[in-house]
Amino acid sequence: MSLLRGWRATLASVLVGLCIAPLAVAAPPARVAAHPPGGAIASGHALATEAGLQILRAGGNAFDAAVAVSSTLSVVEPISSGLGGGGFFLLHDAKSGKDVFLDARETSPAAATPQAFLDGHGALDPNRSQNGPWSAGIPGLPAALVELAGKYGRLPLGTTLAPAIRIAREGFPVYARLQKGYASRRSVMERYPGTRAVYLADGDPPKVGETFRQPDLARTLQLLADKGFDGFYRGDIADKLRRSVHDEGGNWTSAELAGYRVRERAPLQFKYRDWSITTAPPPSSGGIALAEILQIAEGWDLRKLDPPHRVHILVEAMRRAFRDRTIYLGDPDFVRMPIARLMSPDYAAGLRASINPDKATPSVLLPAQPAPLEDDETTHFSIIDRDGNRVSATQTVNLLYGSGLVAPGTGVLLNDEMDDFALKPGTPNAFGVMGFAANAPKPGKRMLSSMSPTFMESRDKVIALGAPGGSRIITEVLLGILGYDDGLSAQQVAALPRFHHQWWPDVISAEAGALDPKTVKALQAMGHTVNAGEPTWGNLQTVEWDRRSDTLSVGSDPRNPVGKAEVLLQP
C-alpha cells in the first residue's frame, strides 16, 4: 500500500471506512492543463460513438453524450444491453469536482421468490432463471437516461435520444456477433410472439449485412423523449410490458414499474500506488473486489516478479476477493455489509499474510461459511468532454439477448438479470459465481453485479475504463488498472491478454496467448489448475486525458471489430 500522507490520508481512510467517497478531488497542480483539448468517446459500437460525438459537437456535455451513446447501444447491441435492462453510470462533474454513481440496476419483482426458480426436484432451473418472464427484473436503464438528462445534461432528451430513435426506425447493418448470438439464443427467442415480430420481421433471422429495423423500439424511445419517466414506467408501454410478462406466465405489477427509482450512491474510493481509484459500490461487487485485490497485491512489486509469480500473486488475491464476494455482498438497501473491513488496508494485509508466495491455496481451504448477516454480453462506454466531465458506464441485459422475451408492440427486450441473484444458496449461476443470504432475492431488491465502471486519477492522468464479461469484468478492469500503472497506452490496455480466477471453480482461466507455456508450467508446479487457451472474452473501452501533455487518447477492445473510440479536438 503506498503511504498516504497527512490529513488527507486520515480523511481518506475515515471516509473509506464510512463507505463515503471524498467528493472533491484535489485541484491539479498549475503546470497541468485545466481542461482537456476536446472530448473523447470509446464504446462497443461505432454508431453509438458517433451519436455521442454528434451531441458533443452540438454543445452537449459528457452526460448528454452518455444519453446518446447509451440509448444507441440499446438499439444497435440488443445482444448486450437495452431499455429492458439496467446499468451503472459513474459520473464526474468537473465544476463541483463531485463523483456520483447512478445505480440503475434492475429490481426483483415481488412474485419472483426463490421457489419460483426451482424445478420439481428442488434444483435451480436455468430455464427459469436465464430465459423468459421469470428471469427478468424491473428495468432500470430508461430511468437512468431520464435522470442523466434532467439532472446532469444540458440538452433535452428529444435531442439526445434523436440518434437512437432514427437508427431504430431506419435500421443499421447486422454484424457477425449479432447474427452468431441470435443463433445461440434462437430456440428461446422464437418462443415469444413479440420477439418473433422483431427478429423474424422479414421471415428469417438477422443476417450479416442486412438492415435491422426496430420501429416499435423507435416509438418507445420517442415516448421516453416526450414524457420522460412516465413514458416508459406508466401508461401504454408499462401496460404492454406487464401484459407480456403475464401472458408468458410471469408476474409484474404496475406499482413495481411506477415505483422504480434510480439510486444515487457514493462511489468507493481507494488508493493504489500513485493512483486514486474511484469505482462501483454495492450492489456492484466490483469496487470492493478491486480494492481487495489491489491492496493485497501492493505488498509485492509486481514489476519485479517473474511472469509466473506475478500471475500467482494476482490469482491468489482474486481468489480471496471472490470468496468474500460470495459470502458478504448484496444490495446495500437490504443487507448490512462489512464494507469498511473489506476495503481496509489492514484486512488486505491479513489476507496477504495468508498467501504462500510459491504455492496455490486450494479454494476449499478458504471455505464460504455463510456470514452471520441478518439475513459475451453487456457493454461499456467511457466519455470525457472538453470541461473535464467524465462518464464511465456499463449497461446490460445480462446473457446474450437477455431473457429472449420482447414485449409485443414495445421493441423492448427484457433482461434475464434475476440469474445474478443467489436463487439457490451455494448453486453457481451462469457465470459460475454463487452467493448466500446477502444476495438472496427479495421484493424490490437489486441483484449483485460485477459491473465495475471505474475512474483512475494520478497527478498527471485522468482515465475512465470498464468492460463487460460477467464475473470476469472485475479482473478485466483490474488488469486494465495494472496496465495503465505499467505505463501502457489506452489502446494497449484495451488489447491486453486476460486471465481470471474467481475462487470457485478453483481454476485459472486464460485467453490463448495470455500465459506462455513456461508460465503455465510454473503455475501448475505451484499447485494451480490452469485452463490456458480459453476463447477470448471482454470488450474494454477506455479514454485517457494526460493533463501534463494535454492530450487525449482512447482504447477500444480489438476483440470487438465493431467498437469505436475517437478523440474530438475542439477549439
Residues 409-448 that bind ligand DON (CB under 6 A): 417, 420
Report if residue 378 touches ligand DON, rule: CB under 6 A: yes
Smallest separation (angstroms) from ligand DON to the CB of 167: 23
**468 lies in the binding site for ligand DON (CB under 6 A):** yes
Binding residues with ligand DON: total (CB under 6 A): 14
Q: How far is the CB of 104 from ligand DON (least distance, A)?
A: 12
Considering the complex, state which of residue 326 and residue 398 has its C-beta at the smaller distance from ligand DON. Answer: 398
480 lines the binding site for ligand DON (CB under 6 A): no
Give yes or no for residue 466 binding ligand DON (CB under 6 A). Answer: no
Q: What distance in Å separates the CA atoms of residue 125 and residue 102, rounded to the nearest whole number?
A: 32
Q: How far apart (Å, rounded) are the C-alpha atoms in residues 201 and 193? A: 11
CB of 451 to ligand DON, least distance (A): 5
Tell the residue number behind the cell numbers 475542439, with chain if given. 570
Q: Are 405 and 132 in contact (CB under 8 A)?
A: yes
Residue of 326, 378, 396, 410 with catalytic role: 378
Report how far residue 547's alpha carbon sits from residue 458's, in angstroms, rounded to the nearest whole number.
10
Integer CA distances (angstroms), 494 to 40, 45, 297, 338, 498, in order = 15, 15, 21, 33, 10
The answer to the question of residue 84 lying near ligand DON (CB under 6 A) is: no
C-alpha to C-alpha distance for 71 and 362, rounded to whole angstroms? 44
Contact 413, 62 (CB under 8 A): no
| Contact status: 450 vs ligand DON (CB under 6 A) | yes
Of 153-161, 350-358, 373-381, 402-410, which part binds ligand DON (CB under 6 A)? 373-381
Which of 279/378 has CB closer to ligand DON? 378
DSSP letter for 325, please: H
- Taking the C-alpha atoms of residue 272 and residue 281, their distance in angstroms, rounded to an integer, is 17
For residue 471, the minimal CB distance to ligand DON (Å) is: 7
Question: Of 304-312, 384-392, 464-472, 505-513, which segment contacts ligand DON by CB under 6 A?
Answer: 464-472
The answer to whether 217 and 72 are in contact (CB under 8 A) is no
Residue range at the interface with ligand DON (CB under 6 A); choices 9-17, 297-305, 326-334, 376-384: 376-384
In 3D, which of 14, 132, 60, 88 has the Cα closest to residue 381?
88
Report the residue from 324, 377, 385, 566 that binds ligand DON according to the rule CB under 6 A: 377
| From 226-234, 261-269, 319-327, 466-474, span contacting ligand DON (CB under 6 A) | 466-474
376 binding ligand DON? (CB under 6 A): yes
d(CA 239, CA 253): 9
| Phi/psi at 549 (5° precision) | -90, -5
Cα–Cα distance measured from residue 115 to residue 68, given in angstroms and rounded to the nearest whole number: 39
| 278 has catalytic annotation | no
Stretch that binds ligand DON, among 12-20, 161-169, 289-297, 463-471 (CB under 6 A): 463-471
Nearest Cα to 145, choosing from 232, 271, 59? 232
| Dist. CA 522–CA 192, nearest whole Å | 50
Q: Which residues carry out catalysis?
A: 378
Which residues contact ligand DON by CB under 6 A?
376-378, 396, 398, 417, 420, 449-451, 468-470, 473
